[in-house]
Amino acid sequence: MDELIFINNPLINFIKMEVNRIYYNKISPGRQLYHKLDNIIEGILYICKTGTQIKFTNYKGIPGSALMYHYYKWVSSNIFYNCWVKIYNLYQKKYKYCKNLCNLSVDCTYIKSMNGNNCVGRNSTDRGRNGNKLSVIVDLIGVPVGYYLEKANISDCKLLRGTFKNKIYVRKCKSNIYADKGYSSKPCIDISNDNNCRLFAPNKKNFIKKIFTNTSKLTKIRYVVEAQFSWLKSYRRIILRYDRYINNFKNFIFLAFSMITCKKINII
């Protein structure tokens, strides 16, 4: 059953090429890994997808401790982020989906933190428990093109600048970006204009003067960002944060972003 999950998965080849380029092409002749590299990559994807505890993981004879050793090693070299960027570039170049960047959507989701040691804040919607807030920008069909991970006690509008800073797309023309009431403020409009975007959001009821005039398309376009969070939470390692350091948890999100992008362009 485990073999069927990752059959013909191009992400494995992307990670394998990146790992070989950085680490294993320089190994002296006669020296080999104790386990097959393909199985190690599949095991890491298996942990990301199923959320299995490390001490109970035994993927094709590879214990969970060995899988996480390689995972932490590759995290330090930004391998998973580089693979996400390469898959997105393939999505833009080969399949010519640049027009999907004309309409973007942005929103945030909460992630409960169980063992987080850094970058955690009290979640106001979860009785003050520690957590993180993930802000994501998606294009017209729900492919993630920007992210920002911060403490849970920071408002959505304050995460918008960091989300634009971490975007991986390049577009010369101005885009429309759709959001909810949490982004209905003049600073968010200024941040969007600085990043070549035109913001649309519902007006808050306590506004004396309306900021946004045309909000009829919001419900039709914004559903993709909500659907993207449901796709993201299908990778159970991301539902709860068990990683102590934020960088280790962030790279599981990069793996999920890469898998989502592969599925949307039908190369899995």
> Residue 4 is encoded by which pair of tokens?
């069927």
What pLDDT does residue 171 have?
86
CA 182, 186, 188: angle at the middle one, nearest 5? 55
> What residues does CATH 3.30.420 cover in the chain?
97-246
What pLDDT does residue 1 have?
42
Q: Is 253 left (phi over 0), alpha (psi -120 to 50) or beta?
A: alpha
What are the residue ranges in the chain where pLDDT is below 50?
1-2, 4, 30, 268
What pLDDT does residue 216 have?
65
What pLDDT does residue 237 have?
92
DSSP states along 21-35 = HHTGGGSPTT---SS
pLDDT digits (tens, 9 = 90+) for 128-182: 889 999 999 999 889 999 999 999 999 899 999 999 999 999 888 899 999 988 8
The class level of CATH for 97-246 reads: alpha beta
What pLDDT does residue 207 have?
66
CB 175 within 8 A of CB 102: yes
What pLDDT does residue 139 have?
92
> Residue 158 is encoded by which pair of tokens?
């304050």
pTM: 0.90
C-alpha distances (whole Å) from 171 to each of 37, 125, 153, 263 are 37, 36, 32, 23
**Residue 254, Cβ neighbours under 10 Å: how many?**
21
Strand partners, 105: 138, 178
What pLDDT does residue 178 have?
92
